[in-house]
Structure 1
Amino acid sequence: MTLKRRLYRGRDVRRAQNITELRAMAAARLPNFCLEYLEGGADDELTLHRNRASYDAIAFTPRTLVDVSVRDPGCTLFGQRIEMPAVIAPTGFNGLLAHEGDLALAHAARDAGIPMCQSMVSTVALERVAETGVRHWMQIYPFKDRENLAGIVRRAEAAGSEAIVVTTDVPMLGNREWDRRNYRAPMKLDVANLINVALRPKWWWDVLVPHGMPHFRNLGDILPPGQDDARNAATFLSRQMDPSLNWQDVQWLRELWPRKLILKGIVRPDDALRARALGVDALVITNHGGRQLDSCVAPIEVLPEIRAAVGPDMTLIVDSGLRRGGDFVKARALGADAAMSGRATLYGLAAGGRAGVAHALAILRAEIDRTLGLLGCPALTDLGPDWVSGAGATRGV
């Protein structure tokens, strides 16, 4: 008898072999509306699928007869060593996946020796996350209320945050239809989803009981009084997105913030050059994980063009679509200093809290290390474009 292939869906995160298996475990634990929020993309989800397909289209060109008995998957980022070329990406509403999920992400990132970028719409105060000792970056949305935005920037400075990461690709929210289908009215679940929630007691005992609906702990001065929980704040926050955001706002933030300033949402070489001219320290090349503009280019496709435009000295981080350690190696070979992981680590969080995030990062690090060995490349820092072939490797060259 031939056994059918199937993914492990139990509770022991240590049994997960890869990120896909952690996703299956997360799907078994989360209510449908949480999983849909985590996974969904904009419109027809063409960008979402392109992100993965672009990595799949890149092939390695390994060398042979190379001594790879000692390997180093680490590198430096802003002059400090990280143990693998990864940063935990900023993601909001993480308290809906696990209680105080942002703290779990921070502890796991610290232990793995990589930075964490905390979302402005996270559900744990930035001061508490920074206190974990992780290399803390703070992401901000340039909301219309600039005075209160400046207050968050000053809080990050006081907390010792290494960088401010400005999200530039959300002048308005993308059209995430599959996410919206779960609700009969804004933030009011339909009957089918309410029943689905009732069938996930482990989730609601962790997330809702006795803590109640998670709150936005970094937005108290922006939200109306008593409206800082995830249910009540969503509509208000969508109205705070500022379609007038422009390069003058970047200049304002550069003058306000004394440390590393990172722009997140760049996919064009001309925008990258303008950012460099304004004194921006680094760019995150991203299409927001396929959640904003559909039919957008994949970041890994345009990475070589942007690297060629800005030169070797500007820090570039690529985001969107990474699921395997080999994807991080491909990104590094094509010119990225590091890559951000959003969904991959959130699957670990949803599957098993802090232990799940730690296991997700351990999986990625082991895959990076193994990929380097099989490539015949002992050190991550030795990688270059000649180690890969395919669409992503040749675009713009």
Structure 2
Amino acid sequence: MKLENPWKQNPWFESVAVAQRRARKRLPAPVYGALVAGSERGQTVDDNEAAFRELGFAPHVAGQQAKRSMAATVLGQEVALPVLISPTGVQAVHPDGEVAVARAAAARGTIMGLSNFASKSVEEVTATGAATFFQMYWTGDRDVVVQRMQRAHAAGALGLIATLDWSFSMGRDWGSPEIPEKVDVKTMVRMAPKVVTKPRWLYEFGRSGQLPDLTAPNLAPPGGGAPTFFAAYYEWMTTPPPSWEDVAWMREQWAQISGTPFLLKGVCRVDDALRARDAGVSGLSVSNHGGNNLDGTPAAIRMVKPIADAVGHDLEVVTDGGIRRGSDVVKAVALGARAVMIGRAYLWGLAANGQAGVENVLDVLRGGIDSALMGLGVSSIDELTPDHVLVPANFHRDLGALATDEARP
């Protein structure tokens, strides 16, 4: 029997803010809470968005370019706009999860970042035809790390993202959302009061004939079953943190296995950016893990220019955190980023309307980028410079620059 959608309405939304409001209406409170929550008081989450509001433009009144291009080449891949999909784990907001996101990325001509904590396998995601970069945490021993790299390469991953900045704090001021270890009958009964009030979310999973998947198939050992999210998280917690020698080793292993780009995600300091360059990475992401790392870390956009000035001539710099509109993308690129990565924004689109919702978010950002380029009087995203942005005094945070200077002879 085919279920008919009783809530069918105009699915299009005009901004990421509208997508967020729809996601909040549709999702059970614990699921939505997992999307918006940051660590501790949420200071960094707030600054990620607030910092973009401090930056401005000085638009032209005439002489704008009739045709404008936002195409770029990022880590060897040609993209239609400088907005990439950031890897996020366990996308229980929609039954199609990462597969829907990958299809949207392919349809809009950009890169799909896939987490090794994802609810869909790397094989399922690369089968969509999306240009996929596989993301890895430093979990397990070196043999396990190599095995996971080999699997990603065999599946067709076109690059590797190493995320090393997740320290995670359990002390969230608003309380951590409840995430069950697995979804079974007992869990469904216990959480029914929180879920039954969200019939649209239930409808989507009912129509798909599946329950929310809280396992991590990309961490399954050869011939074994996928661990639960919490089992995977335990593996991460019990793995000693990586050294810079480990970063160089990861980069070398990936070079031997695949030879495709290696992006280090989570860099906040100039001295760390220089060490990443020395370790041979292809690029780095200026990121504070969306506010889910060490609370009190400045907004990522505040750290982009100092890091791009230090290493941008040697490797590619991207950034993420707080990007909600196309003008934010333009500000980031003008300050030195090759592209941005989005996380919460596309997850809200996925929750609101599946694959089409993710495409909608990318279209919203594309429209905002085009408007900003027109107002600034440039014909290409490549023409942007720091002079196109109004930056208040003391906006930038050149963390680690003093340590770098002191280390020089």
TM over 0.5: yes
For 1:286, the equivalent position in structure 2 comes to: 287
| Partner secondary structure for residue 92 of structure 1 | coil
1:166 aligns with 2:167: no
| Partner secondary structure for residue 149 of structure 1 | helix
For 2:402, the equivalent position in structure 1 comes to: none
1:142 aligns with 2:142: no
For 2:205, the equivalent position in structure 1 comes to: 207
| Partner secondary structure for residue 262 of structure 1 | strand
Moved more, 179-188 or 241-250: 179-188
For 2:406, the equivalent position in structure 1 comes to: none
Deviation at 1:364, TM superposition (A): 0.8
Alpha carbons of structure 1 residues 184 and 30: separation in structure 2 relative to 1, 3 Å: closer
Report if the CA contact (8 A) 2:218-2:226 is conserved: no
Report if the CA contact (8 A) 1:251-1:278 is conserved: yes
Moved more, 346-355 or 243-252: 243-252
Deviation at 1:316, TM superposition (A): 0.4
Deviation at 1:193, TM superposition (A): 5.4
From 43, 47, 51, the counterpart of 1:50: 47
From 54, 58, 62, the counterpart of 1:61: 58
Deviation at 1:264, TM superposition (A): 0.3
- CA–CA distance in structure 1, aligned partners of residues 87 and 180 of structure 2: 27
For 1:324, the equivalent position in structure 2 comes to: 325
- CA–CA distance in structure 1, aligned partners of residues 40 and 397 of structure 2: 28
- CA–CA distance in structure 2, aligned partners of residues 310 and 379 of structure 1: 23
Deviation at 1:70, TM superposition (A): 0.9
| Partner secondary structure for residue 38 of structure 1 | helix
For 1:90, the equivalent position in structure 2 comes to: 87
**Misfit runs of 4+, over 3 Å:** 10-15, 178-194, 391-394
Deviation at 1:387, TM superposition (A): 0.3
1:237 aligns with 2:237: no
- CA–CA distance in structure 1, aligned partners of residues 271 and 131 of structure 2: 30
Alpha carbons of structure 1 residues 297 and 11: separation in structure 2 relative to 1, 3 Å: farther
- Corresponding letter in the other structure for 1:62: P
For 2:309, the equivalent position in structure 1 comes to: 308
| Partner secondary structure for residue 349 of structure 1 | helix
For 2:337, the equivalent position in structure 1 comes to: 336
1:264 aligns with 2:265: yes
For 2:251, the equivalent position in structure 1 comes to: 254
Deviation at 1:201, TM superposition (A): 2.7
1:19 aligns with 2:20: no
For 2:119, the equivalent position in structure 1 comes to: 123
Report if the CA contact (8 A) 1:13-1:355 is conserved: no
| Partner secondary structure for residue 390 of structure 2 | strand
Alpha carbons of structure 1 residues 282 and 226: separation in structure 2 relative to 1, 3 Å: closer
Alpha carbons of structure 1 residues 342 and 46: separation in structure 2 relative to 1, 3 Å: same
Alpha carbons of structure 1 residues 369 and 184: separation in structure 2 relative to 1, 3 Å: closer
Deviation at 1:100, TM superposition (A): 2.3
Moved more, 10-19 or 270-279: 10-19
Q: Which residues in structure 2 correspond to 1:305-384 (within 5 Å)?
A: 305-384=306-385
Deviation at 1:334, TM superposition (A): 0.1
From 146, 151, 162, the counterpart of 2:147: 151
For 2:216, the equivalent position in structure 1 comes to: 216
User: Per-residue CA shift, 1:281-306, capped at 9, x if unaligned?
Assistant: 00011000001211101111011110
For 1:4, the equivalent position in structure 2 comes to: none
Aligned CA RMSD, in angstroms, stands at 2.5
For 2:4, the equivalent position in structure 1 comes to: none
For 2:401, the equivalent position in structure 1 comes to: none
Number of aligned pairs?
382
Alpha carbons of structure 1 residues 18 and 393: separation in structure 2 relative to 1, 3 Å: farther
Alpha carbons of structure 1 residues 135 and 226: separation in structure 2 relative to 1, 3 Å: closer
Report if the CA contact (8 A) 2:12-2:360 is conserved: no
Deviation at 1:109, TM superposition (A): 0.5
Moved more, 235-244 or 210-219: 235-244
| Partner secondary structure for residue 218 of structure 1 | helix
- CA–CA distance in structure 2, aligned partners of residues 377 and 393 of structure 1: 27
Deviation at 1:338, TM superposition (A): 0.1
Deviation at 1:376, TM superposition (A): 1.6
Report if the CA contact (8 A) 2:269-2:303 is conserved: yes
Report if the CA contact (8 A) 1:16-1:22 is conserved: yes
Q: Tell me, which stretches of 5 or more residues in structure 1 are unaligned?
A: 1-9
Report if the CA contact (8 A) 1:333-1:388 is conserved: yes
Deviation at 1:174, TM superposition (A): 2.7
- Over the matched positions of the two proteins, sequence identity in percent amounts to 33
- CA–CA distance in structure 1, aligned partners of residues 52 and 175 of structure 2: 29
For 2:3, the equivalent position in structure 1 comes to: none
1:74 aligns with 2:74: no
Alpha carbons of structure 1 residues 236 and 131: separation in structure 2 relative to 1, 3 Å: closer
For 2:195, the equivalent position in structure 1 comes to: 197
- Corresponding letter in the other structure for 2:280: G
- CA–CA distance in structure 1, aligned partners of residues 37 and 8 of structure 2: 24
- CA–CA distance in structure 2, aligned partners of residues 31 and 184 of structure 1: 11
Report if the CA contact (8 A) 1:30-1:97 is conserved: yes
| Partner secondary structure for residue 40 of structure 2 | coil
| Partner secondary structure for residue 59 of structure 1 | coil
Alpha carbons of structure 1 residues 217 and 388: separation in structure 2 relative to 1, 3 Å: same
Deviation at 1:311, TM superposition (A): 3.6
User: Per-residue CA shift, 1:42-81, capped at 9, x if unaligned?
Assistant: 1100000000011110011223432321111222213442
Alpha carbons of structure 1 residues 290 and 176: separation in structure 2 relative to 1, 3 Å: farther
Report if the CA contact (8 A) 1:148-1:222 is conserved: no
